[in-house]
Structure 1
């Protein structure tokens, strides 16, 4: 808990962290797969070939990897936020038992 924070404020902050974690998980799900179908179509056999096609599909694969990395980062952040929320709830409960200090 932050200095001067009441147990109720800490619990509210913990809930905000959980809400942000849920939103991050939702975004991570769509972000990580955003280019899957595009890359699959662009790299399908017989769709196109040549140096330009290779550059474009290579770039698409790179962007896909970047998005997947960002999605993993969001998932990691979400886990961290939920852990922090759990700790806040424990601290708030302990503070409430001891009279809010």
Structure 2
């Protein structure tokens, strides 16, 4: 299982603690492989962009209108977190549905 997030994100830390053995990738320093990001965008669409983030609020309106994948490549902290990959299946966020699907109580 792989978790893509930010090392200083409280939600990502909660997920890491609950999941146990997980390969962690900090999206700022490690990035997200292009194929994972493409699959995530196909699965979640624009929900992959965290429009409530500080990074989003700091963008000009002209930047916000750019394609989501371009924005995420340029500003990885815009990605909603965590993005979890398990055996080719993707999960976004640390919601009750995600926790249930991953078998976390």
Q: How does the TM-score come out when normalised to structure 2?
A: 0.23
Give the greater-gyration-radius structure (CA): 1
Structure with a larger share of its residues in helix: 1
Where relative contact order (Cα < 8 A, 6+ residues apart) is larger, the structure is: 1
Using structure 1 for the length normalisation, give the TM-score: 0.23
